[in-house]
Amino acid sequence: MSEWDVLLRELDEIPGVSGDEERVAAYMRQKLLPLSNGHWEDALGNQIFVKHGSRPDVKLMLSAHMDEIGFIVRHIDENGFVYFHPVGYHDSRMLMNQVLTIHTEAGPRQAITGTMPAHLLTAEMARRSIPLADIYLDLGTSSRAETMALGVQIGDMITFERKGTLLNGSKLFTGKAVDNRSSCAVLIETMKRLSGKQVQPTIYAVASVQEEVGLRGAGTAAFAIKPTVAIAIDVTFAGDSPALPATLPPMKLGGGPVIKYYDWTPDTGQGNNVPKSLTRQLVRTAESLGIPYQHQTVLNGGTDAATISLAGAGAVTGIISLPSRYIHSATGCVHLDDLAYTVDLLTAFIEQME
C-alpha cells in the first residue's frame, strides 16, 4: 500500500460535512503541526499553518477545503423514519439504494434510503428524479422514540457509507469525499516536501471550512492573512469518460494538474479570473521541469479562489485542480499521479517564487 493510498484512505474515511469539520481539522493538525512554525484556528474553524520564509512581507496562501457534501437530519416521523436536508449541492439521482451514516453524539448509526417501489410509480413519476424531500432514511426502528433512543437528533450530520479504495490495484482512488480530501492530501505532502527547505515567501497552508455551502471559510482566512499570492487546490471535472460531452475540455486522469484560467458560476456570480501573470508563471514552472499539466476554463465549478481573491484589499489568486470523475457523488475518483505531479508543481513554484 503506497503512502498516497494510506493518506487518501485515512482522509476519506473521516466524516466532515460542511459546518462539522472538527474531525478532519484534528487530522490536519496531527499531520501539519510538526511541519509548521505556527498555527491558529479562526472563529469558523479554518486551520492555518505557517512556514516562515526569508521574506515575511511576501505571503503565499495555499488553500484546500476540508468539508464534504452530505445531509442533515430535519425531521423524525412518528414511525421512526428520518428526513433530511442536503448540505451542499446534490444530484438526487445518486440517492437511490444507498447506505448512509448518521453521525450522532452517541456514535454512527447506519440507515438505508427509502422511496416508493418502482412498481407503483406513475409514468410521470418514472420520468423524473425523486426529489430529495421525498427520500427518507430507514434505521430499522418502528417509532420516533426508538430512533431517538439510538441517539438520532435534529441537526445530526449524515454522510455516505463507503470505504475509499484503489480500483483493482490501479492508481485510481475512489471514495465518498475525494472532493476535497484529495487536495488536503496534496497540501500535507507539499508542506512535507518543503520541510527543512529555505524559501522566500512565508507560506500559509489553510485547511478551510464550508466551501461546499458557498465558499465561506477561505475568504475569512484570507482576510486575516492578507496574502500576496494565493492558490486554491480543488478537484475539477475530468472529461475522459463516456458520460461527458465531447465539447467539454478533455481533462484526463493521470494527465497532470489542471491550471485554471477562469471559472464562474452564473447562478451565483461567484468565480475567479486568474491573472495572466500567475498562470504564465505556473506554466513556465511546469514546462521548465517537465511536469505534465493541463489547461482549463470552466462554468459552474467555482472554488475558494473566488472569495480569497476578493478578501480585504484582494490577492493575486490562482487555481490548481485535480481532475476527478463523478464529482459530488459517493464514487468520486482521482489519479495518484495527478496528486504527485501537483505536489511537484506547487513545490517548484514556491521554490522559484521571488
Distance (Å, whole) CA 197 – CA 191: 10
Residue 274: helix, strand or coil by DSSP? Answer: coil
Using CB atoms within 10 Å of the CB of residue 18, give its burial: 0 to 12 exposed, 13 to 18 middle, 19+ buried: buried
Task: Count CB-CB contacts under 10 A for residue 265.
Answer: 16
Q: How far apart are CA 322 and CA 236, in angstroms?
A: 6
Q: Return the sign of the alpha-carbon dihedral for residues 85, 310, 45, 347.
A: positive
Place of cell 486554491: 232
Sequence-ordered strand ranges (E) for 197-244: 201-208, 229-237
Half-sphere exposure of residue 111: CA atoms within 13 angstroms, side-chain side: 30
Q: What is the DSSP letter of 170?
A: S
Task: Report residue 28 as a C-alpha cell.
Answer: 490536519
Asked whether 182 and 253 are in contact (CB, 8 A), the reply is: no
Contacts of 251 (CB under 8 A, 6+ apart): 236, 237, 238, 239, 240, 258, 294, 296, 323
Judge whether 211 counts as a catalytic residue: yes
Which residue in the list 21, 68, 189, 211 is annotated as catalytic?
211
Gap between the terminal Cα atoms of the chain: 38
C-alpha to C-alpha distance for 166 and 339, rounded to whole angstroms: 14
Contacts (Cβ under 8 Å, ≥6 apart) of 234: 64, 65, 179, 180, 183, 211, 303, 304, 319, 321, 322
Provide the annotated active-site residues.
211
